[in-house]
């Protein structure tokens, strides 16, 4: 079961609002592709919908039924023309099989990091490659691990509660306070995060509480490059942000790769 396949899927869009410039970046990449786009880990459709609205056909794949249900509700409110450009498929990026090949596959919002072992990462990259046309491209982003930040989280007291802010509950209109705890394992390159959502009334009393676990395996810059080359890709570009700025340690890895 996906960590997002739970009751908090309906809250996802309220607190996971993306990274600065990522929507425009992926829409631009999609419009450059000569044909339909495959989005891996499309979730609630945050990137998929604007790509379809831009005139590009897109297939969205995700393994979390609850997230896809949110996406379907959003898609139902779109125009007929936009809906005709969209297809949703439930599946795992390591094992999916579609009777279609694409000139472009994308994995936005660091979703590649949900693959928890190097073997899973290779399986997914290989599976995606098999669904790309000749010289097809893969575009995705992951955070670049900051050694300084990881070291700070490993100092005592470990498991400290971090307050991340708040948002308005999409159904009740009440305030939801967000916090988390994080545990890094630098040997396994994993992050275990627990996110806490507390819905409060006007007096600050907690009315409900939801906890979501998030598990990631982060990758370093040259490790990611080696994985791509090992799986039959050549790197066209590595950016440090969605404005196509230079790569900088500790910021973002935005990869553009083409199959060889």
Homologous superfamily assigned to 7-144+220-259:
Vaccinia Virus protein VP39 (3.40.50.150)
Topology annotation, domain 147-217: N-terminal domain of TfIIb (2.20.25)
d(CA 124, CA 137) in angstroms, rounded, equals 14
Give the mean pLDDT of 47-76. 97
For the chain, which residues make up each domain, given as ranges? 7-144+220-259, 147-217
pLDDT tens digits for range 94-131: 999 999 999 999 999 999 999 999 999 999 999 999 99
pTM value is 0.95
d(CA 257, CA 105) in angstroms, rounded, equals 10
């Amino acid at each position: 079961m996906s960590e997002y396949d739970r009751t908090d899927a309906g809250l996802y869009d309220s607190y996971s609002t993306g990274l600065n410039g990522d929507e425009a970046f992926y829409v631009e990449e999609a419009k450059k592709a000569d044909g339909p786009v495959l989005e891996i880990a499309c979730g609630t459709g945050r990137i998929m919908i604007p790509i379809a609205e831009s005139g590009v056909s897109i297939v969205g794949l995700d393994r979390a039924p609850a997230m896809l249900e949110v996406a379907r509700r959003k898609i139902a409110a779109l125009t007929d023309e936009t809906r005709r450009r969209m297809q949703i498929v439930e599946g795992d990026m390591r094992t999916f099989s579609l009777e279609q090949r694409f000139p472009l596959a994308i994995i936005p919002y660091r979703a590649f990091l949900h693959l928890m072992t190097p073997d899973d990462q290779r399986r997914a990259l290989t599976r995606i490659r098999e669904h790309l046309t000749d010289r097809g491209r893969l575009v995705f982003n992951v955070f670049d691990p900051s050694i300084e930040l990881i070291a700070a989280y490993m100092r005592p007291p470990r498991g400290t509660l971090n307050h991340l802010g708040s948002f308005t509950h999409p159904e009740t209109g009440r305030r939801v306070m967000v916090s988390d705890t994080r545990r890094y394992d630098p040997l396994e390159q994993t992050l275990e995060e627990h996110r806490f959502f507390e819905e409060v009334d006007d007096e600050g009393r907690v009315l409900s509480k939801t906890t979501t676990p998030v598990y990631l395996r982060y990758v370093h810059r040259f490790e990611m490059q080696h994985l791509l080359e090992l799986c039959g890709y050549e790197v066209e570009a590595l950016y440090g942000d969605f404005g196509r700025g230079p790569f900088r340690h500790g910021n973002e890895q935005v990869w553009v790769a083409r199959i060889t």
